[in-house]
Chain A
Amino acid sequence: MKQKTGLGHYIYIVWDYFYSNIVTLVKVASHTFTKADTVEYPEQMPYLAPRFRGRIVLTRDPTGEERCVACNLCASACPTDCISLQKTEDESGRWSAEYFRINFSRCVFCGMCEEACPTYAIQLTQDFELAEYERQNMVYEKQHLLIDGPGKHPDYSFYELSGKAVSGRAKGAGTQEAEPVNLKSLLP
Chain B
Amino acid sequence: MNATIDNLVTIYIDGSAYQVKAGGHLLEACLGLAQDLPYFCWHPALGSVGSCRQCAVQLYQDAEDQRGRMVMACMTPVAEGMRVSLSAPMASEFRQQCIEVTMANHPHDCPVCEEGGECHLQDMTLQSGHTQRRHKGHKKTYHNQDLGPCVGHEMNRCISCYRCVRFYQDYAGGDDLVVLGSRENVYFGRHQDGCLTSHFSGNLSEVCPTGVFYDKVVSDSYTRKWDLQSAPSICSHCSLGCNLSVGERQGQVKRVTNRYHSQVNGYFICDKGRYGFAHSNSDQRLYQAQVQPLGDTEKVSCDTLHGLDYVAQIMTELGAENVFGLGSPRASVEENFALQSLVGKANFYAGHNAAQGVIQTQVLHQLTQPNIYTPSLKQIEQADAIVIIGEDLLHTAPRMALSVRQASRNLGFAKAAAIGIPKWQDEPVRIHTQNQLSPVISVTSAATDLDDISSQCIHLAPSDMCNFAGALASAVEGQFDGSGLSAELNEQVQHSLALLAGAKRPLVISGASSQSPELIDLAAQLALALGRQSGSEAWLSYALEAANSMGLGLLNKDAKHMDDLALRLQQQTTPSALIVLQTDLFSLSTQAQALCENLRHLVVLDQLPSATSEHADVVIACASVFETEGTYVNNEGRAQRFFSVHDKLGRPDAWRSLTHLATMVTQAGHRSDTITQLASCTKFDDLCDLVSQQGGEFAHWCDVAPSAGFRIAGMKVPRQTHRASGRTSLYADENVSEAKQPEDVDSALGFTMEGTPINKPSALIPQVWSPGWNSNEAINKFQQEINGPLKGGEAGVRLLDTSPSLPLAEVAVIPSITLGAGQILAHTQNHLFASDRVSSLSSALKQRNTAISARLHPDTAAIMGLVDGDEVCVALAQTQWLLPLTVDASVAVDLLLLPNQYQAPISAGHLPAAVSLSAVTQEVN
Contact = CB atoms under 8 A, between A and B. Distances in A.
Interface stretch (A20-28, A146-154, A156-164): A156-164
A171 B142 contact: yes
B463 to A, nearest CB: 52
Q: Give the size range of A's interface with the partner.
A: 35 or more
A105 B331 CA distance: 45
B126 interface: no
Given A135-B736, A164-B154, A181-B187, A71 B116 contact: yes
Contacts of A165: 144
B707 interface: no
A172 B107 CA distance: 11
A181 B140 CA distance: 7
A162 B107 contact: yes
A177 interface: yes
Given A73-B111, A81-B729, A162-B112, A178 B736 contact: no
Interface of B: 107-112, 116-117, 137-144, 154, 156, 180-183, 185, 187, 219-224, 226-227, 250, 723-730, 732-733, 735-737
A158 B574 CA distance: 74
Nearest to B106: A163
A180 interface: yes
B728 A81 contact: yes
A145 to B, nearest CB: 12
A119 B116 CA distance: 15
A92 interface: no
Contacts of A118: 110-111
A70 B728 CA distance: 18
Contacts of B728: 80-82, 103, 106
A84 B224 contact: no
Contacts of A119: 111
Interface string A79-91: 0111111110100
23 contacts: A71-B116, A80-B728, A81-B727, A82-B726, A82-B728, A82-B729, A87-B222, A101-B730, A101-B732, A103-B732, A105-B736, A118-B110, A136-B735, A139-B732, A162-B107, A162-B108, A163-B108, A163-B141, A164-B109, A176-B139, A177-B138, A183-B185, A183-B187
Contacts of A122: none
B180 A183 contact: yes
Contacts of A71: 110-112, 116
Given A84-B729, A139-B733, 7 more contacts: A72-B725, A101-B732, A106-B728, A141-B733, A162-B108, A181-B142, A181-B185
Given A136-B736, A141-B733, A179 B182 contact: no
Contact of A103 (B117, B227, B250, B736): B736
Interface in A127-155: 135-136, 138-139, 141
Contacts of A158: 111
Nearest to B250: A86
B142 A83 contact: no
A180 B142 contact: yes
Nearest to B138: A178
B135 to A, nearest CB: 10
Given A162-B108, A183-B187, A83 B736 contact: no
B107 A163 contact: yes
For the complex of A and B, 7 pairs with smallest distance between CB atoms? A163-B107, A84-B726, A71-B111, A75-B725, A84-B729, A81-B727, A178-B138
Contact of B726 (A69, A81, A162, A186): A81
Contacts of B182: 186
B725 A76 contact: yes
A95 interface: yes
A139 B736 contact: yes
A118 B116 CA distance: 13
Given A72-B224, A89-B219, A83 B111 contact: no
Contacts of B736: 103, 105, 135-136, 138-139
B112 A95 contact: yes
Contacts of B110: 71, 118
Nearest to B181: A183
A56 interface: no
Contact of B227 (A72, A101, A164, A176): A72
A31 B885 CA distance: 99
B725 A102 contact: no
Most buried by A among B180, B181, B221, B222: B222
Contacts of B107: 162-164
Nearest to A105: B736
A82 B729 CA distance: 5
Contacts of B733: 101, 139, 141
Nearest to A78: B725
A83 B732 CA distance: 10
Nearest to A89: B219
A28 B618 CA distance: 78
B156 A164 contact: yes
Given A164-B109, A180-B143, A83 B726 contact: yes
A2 B735 CA distance: 61
A163 B730 contact: no
Contacts of A86: 221, 223, 250
B646 to A, nearest CB: 16
B723 to A, nearest CB: 5
Most buried by A among B110, B144, B221, B728: B728
Contacts of A106: 728-729
Nearest to B139: A177
A176 B138 contact: yes
Given A136-B736, A183-B187, A178 B725 contact: no
Nearest to B156: A163
Contacts of A138: 736
Interface in A51-71: 69-71
B221 to A, nearest CB: 7
A18 to B, nearest CB: 48
B729 A161 contact: no
Contacts of B185: 181, 183, 185
Contacts of B219: 89
A155 B358 CA distance: 73
A106 to B, nearest CB: 4
Contacts of A185: 185
Most buried by A among B137, B143, B226, B227: B143
Given A84-B726, A135-B736, A178 B116 contact: no
Given A119-B111, A162-B108, A75 B726 contact: yes
Nearest to B111: A71
Nearest to B157: A163
Contacts of A164: 107, 109, 112, 154, 156
A141 to B, nearest CB: 7
Nearest to B135: A176
A178 B723 contact: no
A102 B110 CA distance: 23
B112 to A, nearest CB: 5
A160 to B, nearest CB: 10
B139 to A, nearest CB: 5
Contacts of B181: 181, 183
Contact of B141 (A105, A180, A188): A180
Contacts of B227: 72, 75-76
Contacts of B111: 69, 71, 73, 95, 118-119, 158, 162
A76 B720 CA distance: 13
A163 B109 contact: yes
A136 B736 CA distance: 5
Given A84-B725, A103-B736, A76 B224 contact: yes
A2 to B, nearest CB: 46
Contacts of A162: 107-109, 111-112
Contacts of B221: 86-87
A134 B250 CA distance: 25
